[in-house]
Structure 1
Amino acid sequence: MIRILSYSTQLADHLKVRDALKGIEKACGVGINTEFKIDSVFSLEIIDEFMRKAAIEGSPIHLILYNEKVTDEILALLPDNSPIICLKGFEQSQKSSRPQQELIFFHTLEDTKGFQQLVSKCLQLQSLRYELSYSQSIDYNNRLSQSSFIEILGDHLNRAFVLKHGVGLILFKFVSYGREPKHLKSMTYLLQEYYQFLDEYLPSGWKLYTFGTSDLGLIIDDVSCRDDFDAMLRHVHQETNKFFSNYGIVMSIDMGVALSEDKIVDPIELYNQACAALSVANRKGHGFIEYYGKEQERSLLFSTKVESDLKQVLIDRKLNVVYQPLVDLNTLQPRGVEALVRWNHPTLGQISPVEFLPIAERINGMNELADIVFHQAFDHLRSWKMQGLNLYMSVNIAGQQLVSGKLINHLMETTQLYNISPTDIDLEVTEDFDLNYIDPIVYQLEELKNLGFKITIDDFGIGYSSLHYLSQFPVDKIKIDQSFIRNLNDKKIKILQAMCNLAQFMKIETLVEGIETKEQLEMLKVIGTQYGQGYLFSPPLKADNLELFLNQFKPHQF
């Protein structure tokens, strides 16, 4: 069914539209048996609600016929993703508030044939945009933004709806173990090879897209046969494992799957469902394929509320920062603190950063979140310096902040505001960005290092690119992931020793997180780790409690 929305305050106008659309099925020429439904709306204020309701019912609006004189102010109230034919005049300023100018048309009802042809053109427009979106599917050097990917997903959904097909969305997460083989040119090169391999391997109708900083998605246009879809998905999973195995890399691939099944037409909702499924797959371990279902639905309802509330929290700046001491393992004296963001939700209680930080990244809120952390952390550091406490401050930097290109100015402005020296700031860089961005990232890190900031690679050893980053980045310190000291055995101790030896050879400091027992502490001291943090010394503390901890700290108790 193709649904057309007719707006006017006058019943006579709606009747004229219906008369003019007679025979439109022949004029449209979409080549399929199509039912046309014309909805008449008499109030501008309910158009937005009408559009949402239509989407929920699984029958999106394909075209709006606007029977009033249209201005920029009115266009701002109308949806951006549906073509609009203005029937009684169109006044538009040079600075239009509507971003999609190609979807606005003007025509009168007097020329019935011309009007029908224009309607046909509009209905074909979504299919045209859908085809054009294919040209962006595999562009290794120019990834789509997340919003562009979701827009393209919407194009696929619109076309599938007209053809009465279900759409499948698959999101990937890769985790590699071990070192990069010496013969490998680079992980960037390998991923490009993989994208090309997968694109050639996939059947028609399975379209591969790279987007965000490190995301990979598959959009499947027709999931009418669920058994065939399931079988092909398992093949993709197996062939992906074989591909990386051929290069000597042990790669774990998790997949989150969401299906439209002729019901869901909102691309954001379908994308969020696939994200929820992927999150459940991640929690189960490694190498899982997870379909969106009841468990994921609960997760999605939670994340939807968290996302909505987080947007307001970022505006109101109602996040708090706590501090965990960083201890010199030789002297057992605190030398610094790590700033950790916390969110105490009024109804949900404490929400883990593991849950809300990915959402902040998804809504492009990492710069705003970092601004809250920087201001609180640097203000406290200034206060502690005035009290004679000689500490450095460690703050986490996400890939999104580096890719945005705003980090250097942001840090310099904030340190100057609080009269803090960059030499007192340690930047913990996570590995959550695409190696395609490595050149501009390396440039920014080198600039930051030249300004006096220290650079630490966070969660060292668990990502497939750790050694690559170590060779490329201007690194001062590596922070070894806590997984290496949990359930200690001889193999883990040898790995820890090897990482410490490598760091020492490269004149790089080492810090191990997650220290909880004296046995772990003694082992780390023996192998030569310089710094550590963990609940053995202290949990993350509020600023006032940290001051009390520092004043009462006694090294001999460890």
Structure 2
Amino acid sequence: MEQYFYLRLFSLVLALLFCIALAARHPQHVKKWQMPILFVGVLLLLSLVFVLGYIDTPNIPFYLFDLVVLMIVIAALTIAYDNIKSKKYLEGLQHDQVWQTAMYKQMPASICVEQYGKIVFKNQSFQMLQESLQQANPFAECNWGQNEISLEVKQGLPIDFLVHKFLLNEGNEVDDKTAYLAVSIQTLRDQQSFLHQLSENRHYQQKPVINLVVDAIHQALPKGLIYLGRYDRQNQSFTYLAHQSQDSELQIFDELLLPDELIQNAEGWFNLDDNAKALLPSSHGLTGYSAEDRWAYVIRNNDQQILGIVFILLPYKQTFSQGFIDFLSILVYQIQLELAHSKDQLKLEQNTKRYRSFIQNSNDAILDLKIDPAMDINLDSDKQWDLILENGQVAQINQRFCSLFEVPKNADTTLILNTKSIKHVIRYILQSSNPNSNIETRFINSSGEVLWLQCTTMAEIYDDKLFGIWLMTRDITENRTHIERLEYKTRHDDLTGLPNRNALSELLDEKIELAKQFGLKVGLLFFDLDRFKEVNDALGHNYGDVLLKKIPQRINNYLQPINAKLCRLGGDEFAIVIPTIENTAQVLELAKDIQTALRQAFDLGQLHVEVSASLGVSCYPENGSDVGTLMRCADVAMYKAKHTPGGILSYSANLDEGSPRRLAIMAAINSGLKQDQFFLHYQPKMDLKTGHVTAAEALIRWQHPEMGLISPGEFIPLAEMSDIIIDLTEWVLDQAIYQLKKFQLSQKDVRLSVNVSTRNLLDDNLVPYIHAKLEEYDVRPQQLELEITESALMVDPDRALETLNKLSGLGLSISVDDFGTGYSSLVYLRRLPIDSLKIDLMFVRNMCRNDQDAIIVNSIINLGHNLSLTVVAEGAEDKATVEVLKTMGCDYVQGYQISKPVPEDEFLRLLDE
């Protein structure tokens, strides 16, 4: 009895150890083993108490020990089963490693498997991605299923990934492994590299990659028949590619015909039920295989075109878990790549031919330089250049490159790289932080011709390694020359070649900035020719142009010693910038020398003429600290000099009446435009035949925040003294045309007129600006009228005629304002494309009390009608004047009797009356 008891005691110890081992092996099921461990432990404790003699007789029932023995047997069987299962798992894992080694390393996909937060498997592609991003698992934050994410790889642009996250070993909650399959969207070069690499390594142990994949599926389903077919689009059938089964004698026919309803709408893995099986044809070899279950996967490319099919036929019913289906999908993905390979290879060959043809026939000079071994981009630029000379090889070079840089087709790489311009560009990108650049450089060919080249560089950099450089060069000499001509033209006068007003502003601004930095003074001298108009009128513009061209020759000797610069402002106006002066007296001395030189007779070929000049002087910083102020002061001084003995004046405040306010107004005009301080009023024009208001004159008004409402009579003459009048007029034109658009939308047929100054009429941008605004607001040109004074027309009649013809060609109406106060020639007036005359208010206002004024008004009306022009009278202050004008046959009238200038809302009310 005692021997049996010790034997059972030994079994208790053995049972306890087995239970503890199983609990340790499966910690997730530890609660299931708590009661057995406790039970065996109590029995063991009682037995030990008996052995030690604490109790006399073993009163423990023996059937309990038999139960313990049964537990030992069950535990032993469990451990044995577990070991067998583990062994199979390890064998499967070894099989997995075989095909992973054979295939996964070739896949352009990153694969990893996680368990308990640690990566238990990863392929080479995933490992490279880890190193590049310096992250353990860059896809850890992805959601379950399919994801699209973008990762920024070091020294490269972001790469988009298609990531599929799923569970392996599904059904065991704790043992589940998380798998990640990530496919990157690579460039054509990456695709070419992958396909080239795959084609070189498409055999592993004398077996094609497709066979390896079929083998891998068969290893997972060893009792099944795995069939792979390629889709023949022309015959709409699947041609046999490979199969794998236990039956090596099984015959597989070449073609498998499937009904459209089975394959056209198929997505992923699908099971063929009994109805679907009935649709399978009986003529193919697959029907000879006794199958209880049939699974299929229709392989498609990215365009959803059918490439092939995978059939899995099993002798037993099988339900695939989602994890297993995802596992099979990984294998099918490789088949998809292989099936698409031939098609892609054909496309690649075609693309390569086109690519090479493009390079060879391109008008750009193209060089593809490869560097083998690749070079570390963090090296010193001189060291990089030495390595490029040592390891650089020309992979592609076209005929245009050879002819442009005058190198032989088979020239040595070192010779090509040491060509001056190429060396300059490559060394520039080595020193630059941006290896992909556009650079313009000069190249002097063997004939001494200077060429301007635009070089575009693209560096192939991966993991801080430079693998190659693309250099594409275009001859832009003609374009650059054209641009330089345009730039020259915009900054120089066509007639004399001198810098124009734009260039003067830039030059003066530059000299003022230098003077501010170094405490210097700058002088500005304006002058015009007093009797130049007489030369034009008497001899013609050709002689006037000859005279203007001789001005620089006459005075250059006085300018060169002091580095002064002569500019032409327009017409007979010139300006001189003296960059460094000691005082104003120095500029006045120069003015005297110039005046003396200009008074000497000019030889114009067959004639000698004499002219004189009026000169105005301003200086920085005494008269102003900016370009606009200095130019205005010099202009004022020049104007006053015309009425001063000697014809030379330096600007001073007493030359301007109320100069502090005038200067303040002049300085505030530009800021007023930017701050929307200006607005328009509209003075109605009444049609005397109908008695209705049908037109208006747009008049600018200025509400200054500090100076209050400033009269147009005060700020417009000041604006006309400089180019600010151009900006003001353009603002009025913009607002008026916009208002016409509003009238048009409200179906009101109204014509608006805008006043244009002398400077506007001589501005080359006037016509393009008006044309652009009419198109912008989609307004009919006939609705806009421009009013031009007689004096503006007579400043430069030929140029005025040219501008007016262009404006009339746009469809605009032209009106001569203040007619009767100027000195225009009626012969010249007939040549102008004008549509109406506007009688000056000085005649209209007193015509009822002054017979002479009435005669003048009546004569102008008759003259206008005889010239087929519309006549407008302004200044009608009372009802009697309106009635007399109506009797004389005047067409339109405006004045306080009709309405004073009013805002938009009041003008609309007048239109409706």
With the shorter chain as reference, the TM-score category is: 0.5 to 0.7
Aligned to 1:448: 810
AA matched with 1:148 = A
Aligned to 2:573: 216
Q: CA deviation at 1:349?
A: 2.2
Q: Comparing 142-151 with 253-262, which one deviates more in the overlay?
A: 253-262
Aligned to 2:891: 530
CA distance in 1, matches of 2:531, 2:682: 29
Q: CA deviation at 1:537?
A: 2.2
Q: Deviation string for 1:108-146 (max 9, x for gaps)?
A: xxxxxxxxxxxxxxxxxxxxxxxxx9xx99754778553
Aligned to 1:245: none
TM, length-normalised to structure 1: 0.53
Aligned to 1:301: 664
For the residue of structure 1 that corresponds to 2:778, the secondary structure is helix
CA distance in 2, matches of 1:303, 1:164: 25
Aligned to 2:506: 151
Structure 1 residues 548 and 146, CA, compared in 2 at 3 Å: closer, same or farther? Answer: same
For residue 504 of structure 1, the aligned residue among 865, 869, 883 is 865
Structure 1 residues 301 and 237, CA, compared in 2 at 3 Å: closer, same or farther? Answer: farther
Q: CA deviation at 1:541?
A: 0.8
CA distance in 1, matches of 2:554, 2:879: 52
Structure 1 residues 196 and 176, CA, compared in 2 at 3 Å: closer, same or farther? Answer: closer
AA matched with 1:480 = I
AA matched with 2:630 = L
AA matched with 1:308 = S
1:169 partnered with 2:525: yes
For the residue of structure 2 that corresponds to 1:308, the secondary structure is helix
CA distance in 2, matches of 1:422, 1:154: 39
Larger Rg: 2
Q: CA deviation at 1:352?
A: 3.7
Q: CA deviation at 1:170?
A: 2.5
CA distance in 2, matches of 1:344, 1:519: 35
Q: CA deviation at 1:511?
A: 1.6
Aligned to 2:630: 270
AA matched with 1:540 = P
Q: Mark the runs of 5 or more structure 1 residues left unpaired by the alignment.
A: 1-88, 97-132, 241-252, 553-558
AA matched with 1:379 = K
**What are the equivalent positions in structure 2 for 1:166-315 lying under 5 Å apart?**
167-170=523-526, 192=545, 195=548, 205=558, 209-211=567-569, 216-219=573-576, 221=578, 224=585, 257-260=617-620, 267-275=627-635, 291-294=650-653, 296=656, 298=660, 299-313=662-676
- Quote the sequence identity (%): 26
Structure 1 residues 546 and 425, CA, compared in 2 at 3 Å: closer, same or farther? Answer: same
Contact 1:327 1:333 in 2 (8 A): yes
Q: CA deviation at 1:311?
A: 2.7
**What are the equivalent positions in structure 2 for 1:16-55 lying under 5 Å apart?**
none
For residue 775 of structure 2, the aligned residue among 412, 424, 441 is 412
CA distance in 2, matches of 1:531, 1:143: 47
CA distance in 2, matches of 1:515, 1:234: 49
CA distance in 2, matches of 1:491, 1:142: 51
Contact 2:838 2:873 in 1 (8 A): yes
Q: Mark the runs of 5 or more structure 2 residues left unpaired by the alignment.
A: 1-430, 441-487, 560-564, 602-612
Structure 1 residues 269 and 544, CA, compared in 2 at 3 Å: closer, same or farther? Answer: closer
Contact 2:527 2:573 in 1 (8 A): yes
Contact 1:138 1:208 in 2 (8 A): no
Bigger relative contact order (CA 8 A; separation at least 6): 1
CA distance in 2, matches of 1:228, 1:529: 57
Q: CA deviation at 1:275?
A: 4.5
Aligned to 1:325: 684
CA distance in 1, matches of 2:665, 2:432: 43
CA distance in 1, matches of 2:439, 2:725: 29
CA distance in 1, matches of 2:726, 2:546: 30
Q: CA deviation at 1:379?
A: 0.8
CA distance in 2, matches of 1:182, 1:279: 21
CA distance in 2, matches of 1:549, 1:175: 50
CA distance in 1, matches of 2:723, 2:521: 33
Q: Deviation string for 1:45-98 (max 9, x for gaps)?
A: xxxxxxxxxxxxxxxxxxxxxxxxxxxxxxxxxxxxxxxxxxxx99997589xx
Contact 2:525 2:587 in 1 (8 A): no
CA distance in 1, matches of 2:766, 2:904: 31
Contact 1:172 1:256 in 2 (8 A): no
Contact 2:532 2:572 in 1 (8 A): no
**What are the equivalent positions in structure 2 for 1:317-356 lying under 5 Å apart?**
319-329=678-688, 332-354=691-713, 355=715
CA distance in 2, matches of 1:441, 1:196: 23
Q: CA deviation at 1:224?
A: 2.8
AA matched with 2:585 = S
CA distance in 2, matches of 1:467, 1:303: 37
Contact 1:278 1:290 in 2 (8 A): yes
Structure 1 residues 262 and 144, CA, compared in 2 at 3 Å: closer, same or farther? Answer: same
Q: CA deviation at 1:510?
A: 1.7
The structure richer in strand per residue is: 2
1:376 partnered with 2:712: no
AA matched with 1:258 = S
Q: CA deviation at 1:239?
A: 11
Structure 1 residues 537 and 444, CA, compared in 2 at 3 Å: closer, same or farther? Answer: same
Q: CA deviation at 1:374?
A: 1.5
**What are the equivalent positions in structure 2 for 1:27-106 lying under 5 Å apart?**
none
Q: Deviation string for 1:374-432 (max 9, x for gaps)?
A: 113431454362xxxx543334454347545232242134235xxxx444443435637
CA distance in 1, matches of 2:912, 2:557: 67
Aligned to 2:58: none
For the residue of structure 1 that corresponds to 2:806, the secondary structure is helix
Aligned to 1:32: none
AA matched with 1:415 = D
Contact 1:319 1:372 in 2 (8 A): no
CA distance in 2, matches of 1:384, 1:444: 29
RMSD: 5.6
CA distance in 2, matches of 1:524, 1:373: 28
For the residue of structure 1 that corresponds to 2:895, the secondary structure is coil
